[in-house]
Amino acid sequence: MRLTPEFVSQRSSHLNALKERELELRGLQIPVIENLASHQGTYDTLNLTDNSITVLGNIPLGEFCSLAFGWGKEEIDESPRLRQLHAAQNQISSISPSLPQSIPHIVTLVLSHNLIAALSTLAPLEHLVHLRHLALSSNPVADLPHYRHYTIYKAAKGQLHTLDYTRIKDAERKTANETFIDPITAGPNALALQLSTSTVSATAAVTAAAPSAFAAAQKSGQAIKGGKGRLMTPEEKRRVVEALTRAQTADEVRRLERMLAEGLIPEGQDGVEEAVPGANGVAQEA
């Protein structure tokens, strides 16, 4: 369903277990974050868990506060703002570059069980300087080399306290800095720059591959109907990730995206191979 202005304005917030004012929009099969202006400045926690959101963004907090209350920039910076954002169990594969301007005071961000596939996708999180608790578990990105140390180094400018519900130890933070900071310039080293710009190869091969594998699987009769908005099982997620990593072209990625949008999932190993033509040969060569 769409978040229409009428629906959002009628949605009431409540006090959660932490005594925080929460706007709950979970389990509504929402595809896009939109029309939240009527509630801006009235809650501490935004709960978007278990929807169909693909892009994390479009939360215009600053603009709304300025227009609605006539606050200047200094007053906006000091005003109560959204502190907790829960968006687990969606289909998020990208993060808007403008997110830090929208939620500058966010402390907790939960994005587990999504489709974030590249470390470069996490770049906007660097500018969430108040972010202390981040959850990205059960995303394809969490299986990549350097994931934990790079995220510790990058997110919130190295000021995270917990990652994936695990406290960050001083030794981990030291290792992250040694791995990604150039000792001479004190800036990002070659590895950090490489990981931060690997969007095309990683994201296009994984996030884009999702539609390709599914579209091709649909043609071959090896796809199953999953139903729009429902959660995928661990086995289905594994097949989606495998299809994404095997995709070699933008066309394959687009086909996978269309199939996922229709709720289609490759059925078994044969379905994955049929969804991405030539994937078996590529896998054997690798």
Q: What's the pLDDT tens digit per position in 193-241?
A: 999 886 534 444 444 434 443 344 344 444 444 444 556 677 777 777 7
Q: Which domains does the chain have, with CATH numbers?
A: 5-188 (3.80.10.10), 208-285 (no CATH)
Task: Quick: pLDDT tens for 151-194.
Answer: 999 999 999 999 999 999 999 999 999 999 999 999 999 999 99
Lowest-pLDDT choice from 56-70, 86-100, 162-176: 56-70
Q: Residue 95 in 3-state DSSP?
A: strand
Query: Which pairing describes strands 14-15 and 21-24: parallel, antiparallel, or unpaired?
Result: antiparallel
Confidence bin at 258 (pLDDT 50/70/90): low
The pLDDT of residue 275 is 53
Confidence bin at 82 (pLDDT 50/70/90): confident
Tell me which DSSP letter residue 96 carries: -
Counting DSSP H helices and E strands in the chain, the numbers are 13, 12
The pLDDT of residue 178 is 96
**d(C-alpha 284, C-alpha 286), whole Å:** 5
The pLDDT of residue 21 is 87
Percentages (nearest 5) of helix, strand, coil residues in the chain: 45, 10, 40
Does pLDDT of 76 surpass 80?
A: no
In sequence order, the β-bridge partners of residue 188 are 181
Confidence bin at 9 (pLDDT 50/70/90): confident
**d(C-alpha 147, C-alpha 224), whole Å:** 32
The pLDDT of residue 122 is 96
**d(C-alpha 84, C-alpha 107), whole Å:** 6
Q: What is the mean pLDDT of the chain?
A: 77
Tell me which DSSP letter residue 203 carries: I
pTM of the model: 0.67
The pLDDT of residue 113 is 97
